Amino acid sequence: MPRTNVKGLYLLTEDGADDVRLGAVVRQALGAGLKWLQYRDKSRDAARRLRQAGLLAQWCRDADAHLLINDDVALAKMVNAAGVHLGQHDGDLAAARAMLGPNAVIGASCYNDLELARSAIEAGASYLAFGAMYASGTKPLARSCPHEVLTAARGFGLPIVAIGGITPDNAGSVYTAGADAIAVLGCVWQADDAVSVIKRFSAMEPK
């Protein structure tokens, strides 16, 4: 299985965003150099999810970026996304690998649990996501992840994605602790100038 080069800013979409808002923010982000995007929509509107995922997949291909679908392996396959991201209770990771193939990017939420990370690796994960690193407005009840967990996870040899309350003001310490990529949502989608926020993140990426 090829190593996945997940690094830098990793943007999650705003749950429930309409097509206009989705396009406005995502296309700005891709224009500013974003390379990793995750489509996150928890609604049961299958038609909207398929339409929006298809749009995002095309925009990402045009920008030489990677689209992952949150928690929906079938949708990822339908729109030919780069892969999928799965939480602990969102589907079988090994089954996702079998369905999407050896080259798909499959991310696994590991929260603050190194044993969960080990299981994800055995099941075929491409990268490991840990968090919340800080208090998160998106998931206020998310379990907290100490920075030391990121450092310990470096020993697994897979890319590490950190998530949860990360902003340009605190991202530096997360990178120092061992993250390869920073997953964000609110600080970009709620910004008056999303591009400036993205550029601030880009400026602090490890070289």
Q: How many CB atoms are located within 10 Å of the residue 169 CB?
A: 9
Q: How many CB atoms are located within 10 Å of the residue 34 CB?
A: 25
In this structure, are residues 123 and 100 in contact, taking their beta carbons and an 8 Å threshold? no
Length of the chain: 207
Nearest to 12 by CA among 184, 140, 137: 184
Instruction: Tell me the C-alpha distance between 129 and 153, whole Å.
Output: 10
Nearest to 161 by CA among 179, 142, 176: 179
Hunting for tokens 């939480």 — which residue is that?
87
Active site residues: 40, 109, 139
Output the six-digit token pair for 96: 């996702």
Q: Give the strand pairing for 66-70 and 8-12.
A: unpaired
Hunting for tokens 């490991």 — which residue is that?
128
In this structure, are residues 76 and 83 in contact, taking their beta carbons and an 8 Å threshold? yes
